[in-house]
Structure 1
Amino acid sequence: MSKKLNELKISTPGRVCLFGEHQDYLKLPVVACAISLRISVEGHRRDDRIIKVQLPDISDEETFSLDEPIIYSKERDYLKSSVKVLMKHGFTFSNGFDCIVHGQIPINAGTSSSSALIVTWINFLARMSDQSQILPDEKLAWLAYEAEVLEFSEPGGMMDQYSTSIGGIIAIDFYPETRVTRLNTELKTFVLGNSKQPKDTKYILSHVKDQILAVDKILRNIEPEFSLQTVSYDDLRFYSKYLSDSQYQILEGTIKNRDLTVLARRELIRKNPDHKLIGQLLNEHHNVLRDMLNISTPKIERMIKAALKSGAYGAKINGSGGGGCMFAYAPEDSERVKDAIEEEGGQAFIILPDSGSRQEIPEVVK
């Protein structure tokens, strides 16, 4: 048994959005937490310029050549887009790679499995490139955002890439410019619940995003100084006469979420926050997402209700919604909360905050 030359293994966490769901693409603040479910890419250089990636978790495999122009052959062709973005930024590759991807993160469930894969892959590629670069966390996040969102004109924001790259608990401000703050707060056990209901992330994101951007455009035409970043919740009623009931509802929900995020961040800046208050704010955030943005599902509601009844301090849907995951903050009774979620048909994981994208010790290969 011996290790192959040039072997490298990189892993990256998934994430939950603690506060600020459907906010980052509006340049409104978010608070996110990397979680102890990870995805890894392990591989070595080849003698030719072929990239071959095995994805056994989804019974798939991808192969393409660096000697040919990179042409996307499917929607969200992330393995190719990551290479293309790195080349655009001056990275070169004299060799291809044989790689294998393994993941613990639920797929298409709102826990950033796609972003974690892209961050992992770009981290791997940059280190294995001719330039052999270890990218700073925030540069890694930006390159992943380019490869995932900009290359395919997707509707998403930047939270996923920054959270999975940097790790821990972070607050991100996007206005007037992007600023990431690492929060050294000590949160305890969460329970992640996968409803196993597939969701159309692209549709849900664009649906919610298109609605609030239409509202923003209407109000800016009436009042050029109007801003989602600065408007006071108390002043919203003034704008109701210009909007339909549904438009006003999504505006009100957006600003409520913004203000809840600011309030939660104020508590999370503390080293030892009030854990019961964090749970209460999670519940309030979920109520807005359910009742005003309409992104929850009956099954997720049952899972949340069961988690709260079993001792969780708070719970909310996670990600764009319409299926996927919820999570509960459960510093006590986490096993009981896990069992309750599973009794409602969910797949449950006890998780903790985790570090960002990192190099691992590769497994020994024959």
Structure 2
Amino acid sequence: MLTISTPGRICLFGEHQDYLGLPVIAAAISRRVQMTGQHRSDNKIIIHLPDIGSELQMEVFATRMPYREKRDYFRSGYNVLIDKGLKFSKGIECTVNGNIPINSGTSSSSALLVTWIHFLSKMADVPRHFTSQELGELAYIAEIVEFNEPGGMMDQLSTAIGNAVYLQFEPKVVVRELKPNLGTFVLADSREPKDTIGVLKRAKFARLELIQKIRQTLPSFSLHDFNTSGQEDLKKLLTNDEYALLGGTLRNRDILREALALFESGEMSNEKLGQLLIEHHGILRDLLQISTPKIEAMMSAALAAGALGGKINGSGGGGCMFVYAPHEPEKVADAMNAVGGRSYIIRIDRGTTVHIS
């Protein structure tokens, strides 16, 4: 019997920066999806999904499977391995369970795809060993590239690799595993549906247009290396709103750099981490406008109960937020529950794992 387990993730720093080509720091969390199964004597693939009261049946193919629905992730995961030369001649039966909040910004779909691809790689006629980074890259292809969806690699790489990880995407993918000595967090689901489209209009598209506007006058402009000392010179090119968006984007870039230096210093300061999270959240709330009154109520309650800092997690407009609460996390969780959240005490966790019994 084979079991694969993969964590969800939170984005510590760099939220809404990756699609601008800027780096992020993400962390795997101790809420996971698990897949357990074995070979069958026929050619059927049967996937039991008791958490959502569903079951999926397919048959092994020697070639790529045709897609049957939008975001047909189980077939796309199979297909990317077929493209890698893996072969399957036996059926498979498995059961999927998980405790990652769904559709709330904690990468449940990416964790599921990493799990499925990892599982299939071990069930192939000739099992293949992929590194955790390779598993994340394959999941990115299966989730994003196969369906021509927008999105970066943060979710897939961070859930596959685990712990805390610095991810740079331009000019090439750079992965640096971090090992900060972090205490407990409290993840809280607002139970509000995310307004992803509305958020992206301001958070993504408005800033992409802003960058193009600057480059009409300053062709060499880059968010990677633009020195904030020259920011004032751009004021005459931009509206007040655009100038504020630019300032917030550059400050979030620099907050991440400060956090990276803190994590790599070997001298972890819980209070400094909390301050950086609060400042990052403030920019997301005030300039990108991705928070909600309920999330702000949860944040205020958590900070009053002893949390050191926190931020919204994911695309925003609903979904999850988290706070850093190395002291009395139960008290913090109770405070957020009291204003309508659904809270989970979490720790930074390892990446995708395999167990054979």
- Shorter-chain TM-score range: over 0.9
Q: Displacement of 1:200 after TM fit?
A: 4.5
User: Is 1:223 paired with 2:218?
Assistant: yes
Please list the CA deviations of residues 222-270 of structure 1 after superposition, one character each: whole Å capped at 9, or x if unmatched.
3221111111223233333333444333322221111110111110113
One of 49, 54, 65 as aligned partner of 2:59: 65
CA gap 1:320/1:107 in 2 versus in 1, 3 angstroms:
same
**1:30 touches 1:159 (CA, 8 Å); kept in 2?**
yes
User: Is 1:274 paired with 2:276?
Assistant: no
- Matching residue of 1:3: none
**1:168 touches 1:353 (CA, 8 Å); kept in 2?**
yes
One of 333, 342, 345 as aligned partner of 1:338: 333
User: Is 1:156 paired with 2:151?
Assistant: yes
**1:312 touches 1:337 (CA, 8 Å); kept in 2?**
yes
Letter of the 1:232 partner, please give it.
N
Identity of aligned pairs, percent? 48
Distance 2:324 2:35 in 1: 30
Q: Displacement of 1:133 after TM fit?
A: 1.1
- Matching residue of 1:9: 3
Distance 2:245 2:72 in 1: 32
User: Is 1:87 paired with 2:82?
Assistant: yes
**2:64 touches 2:79 (CA, 8 Å); kept in 1?**
no
- Matching residue of 1:44: 38
Most deviating of 54-63 and 331-340 = 54-63
Question: TM-score w.r.t. structure 1 length?
Answer: 0.92
The total of aligned residue pairs comes to: 356
- Matching residue of 1:19: 13
Secondary structure of 1:316's counterpart equals strand
Most deviating of 308-317 and 130-139 = 130-139
CA gap 1:241/1:152 in 2 versus in 1, 3 angstroms:
farther
Letter of the 2:9 partner, please give it.
R
Distance 1:237 1:58 in 2: 53
Distance 1:309 1:148 in 2: 39
Distance 1:290 1:200 in 2: 14
5 Å-filtered alignment, 1:127-146, equals 127-146=122-141
Question: What 5-or-longer segments of structure 2 have no aligned partner?
Answer: none
CA RMSD after TM alignment: 1.7
User: Is 1:199 paired with 2:194?
Assistant: yes
User: Is 1:74 paired with 2:59?
Assistant: no
Question: TM-score w.r.t. structure 2 length?
Answer: 0.95
One of 50, 54, 57 as aligned partner of 2:48: 54
One of 220, 243, 259 as aligned partner of 1:248: 243
CA gap 1:332/1:165 in 2 versus in 1, 3 angstroms:
same
Secondary structure of 2:277's counterpart equals helix
One of 284, 293, 296 as aligned partner of 2:288: 293
